[in-house]
Chains A and B, each alone.
Chain A
């Protein structure tokens, strides 16, 4: 499974490097969303900096959803039949796609966080809080992509994937976004209370979603 996940990971990264859909379409969209939020909240610095962590994570949630949809659309090019006929291990496919999506969304997330500091005028606090936010960000993005790719694989053969995927994805993404927002508050100038607890919540969610996805994905493609 690990070998095939590595092959799938390399293929997905190569496709993104050639198509640059996430870099040239999703990243500018995320920037536009942040700017619109900024205009909507008005020029009050206090309001902007208080809202920044939540708005950043809503934007990253949107990016994750688009990245997962794109990742599954790539597989739709060969279809569930193609995946089964070429003997692609479903667990390896799931892990490879999750790894690739996580790294891509995480990199976009880093750009979003730094852009938000400028747009919302929130600035950064101490280095430890920033490190906690980076670690929490990785765990959160990993959890979002683990759940998203699983639901994406479930809806691979469905002709209502575009609407089904967000419907399945958003309820399980809600606790991740909540915890990630709490972890980001100190780094963006807020209170440092209970940051470790929220990091723990993110780690549990990431491990739980990834484990369930790896186990469940084995039977998904046969059922498709």
Chain B
């Protein structure tokens, strides 16, 4: 199976501080990888580096066959879904309006039917409802102000446009934080569905008891380095 992510001796400096200090890491299609480590071990930095959000200072890094350098971030980001600590949600807009906004931005003009303005709007409405359904949110809930939704519902709302875009790599930073067991189960199922469709899923968690049922590999980080890489038993 081809490698979607290949990092060799990667060092990433933020200022003078090495947030990643010689990472060796690779990932293939359909893998679900759990990154473990205490706070400051480099989990978030690794996810951000893969997403092209922080620079590769030294070493070789390629994502989806594209070498990561100063200008390549934009090329890979359209293929990557990233859910970080800050949820990409405008709290004053409804869930539907949030999804519509992100999907309109993501879609190229050619993908929206252009025969009339109404058709374009109808198409957007249709795919917005599809995205809501994808994460198990009802249309009624989608009409609610995003700020009024529960934490778990906000996370699912934030995931809706990401999953609808069918990313080849899905990066989730502490996706279970603040969620109850039921919401964790829903999120895990969404992750599993994405992996079954061929996406490489990497999620970071500092919780030792994090649900590992669907995980294929567990990687432990400490001090910006991989200290353990093993298949999930």
Residues of A within 8 A of B (CB): 3-4, 7, 11, 14-15, 18-19, 74, 77-79, 81-82, 84-88, 222
Whether A87 and B77, one on each chain, are in contact in the complex, defined by CB atoms closer than 8 angstroms, is: yes
Shortest 7 CB-CB contacts between residues of A and residues of B: A82-B88, A78-B88, A19-B92, A79-B86, A15-B92, A18-B92, A7-B104
Whether A82 and B105, one on each chain, are in contact in the complex, defined by CB atoms closer than 8 angstroms, is: no
With A14-B97, A81-B82 as contacts: A86 and B106 at CB distance below 8 Å: yes
Q: Which residues between 55 and 82 of chain B lie within 8 Å of chain A, taking CB atoms?
A: 73-74, 77-78, 80, 82
**In terms of DSSP, what is the predominant structure of the interface of chain B?**
mixed
- The contact sample of 25 A-B pairs, CB cut-off 8 A, is A4-B105, A7-B105, A11-B93, A14-B97, A15-B93, A18-B93, A18-B145, A74-B90, A77-B86, A77-B89, A78-B86, A78-B90, A79-B84, A79-B86, A81-B48, A81-B51, A81-B53, A82-B86, A84-B53, A84-B77, A85-B53, A85-B77, A86-B88, A87-B105, A88-B105
Whether B78 and A87, one on each chain, are in contact in the complex, defined by CB atoms closer than 8 angstroms, is: yes
Is B150 among interface residues, defined by CB-CB distance under 8 A?
Answer: no
Known A-B contacts: A79-B88, A87-B105. Give 5 more (CB < 8 A): A7-B101, A11-B90, A77-B90, A78-B88, A85-B77
Whether B93 and A85, one on each chain, are in contact in the complex, defined by CB atoms closer than 8 angstroms, is: no
Whether A15 and B77, one on each chain, are in contact in the complex, defined by CB atoms closer than 8 angstroms, is: no
Whether A78 and B89, one on each chain, are in contact in the complex, defined by CB atoms closer than 8 angstroms, is: yes
Query: For chain B, which range describes its interface: under 10, 10 to 19, 20 to 34, or 35 or more residues?
Result: 20 to 34
A7 neighbours in B (Cβ, 8 Å): 101, 104-105
Whether A81 and B105, one on each chain, are in contact in the complex, defined by CB atoms closer than 8 angstroms, is: no
B104 neighbours in A (Cβ, 8 Å): 7
Instruction: State in angstroms the CA–CA spacing of A4 and B48 once bound together.
Output: 25
Whether B101 and A85, one on each chain, are in contact in the complex, defined by CB atoms closer than 8 angstroms, is: no
Question: How distant is A94 from chain B, measured CB to nearest CB, in Å?
Answer: 14
A82 neighbours in B (Cβ, 8 Å): 84, 86, 88
Whether B106 and A15, one on each chain, are in contact in the complex, defined by CB atoms closer than 8 angstroms, is: no
Of all chain B residues, the one with the shortest Cβ separation from A88 is B105
Instruction: State in angstroms the CA–CA spacing of A19 and B90 once bound together.
Output: 11
For B109, give its contact among A3, A14, A15, A86 (CB under 8 Å): A3
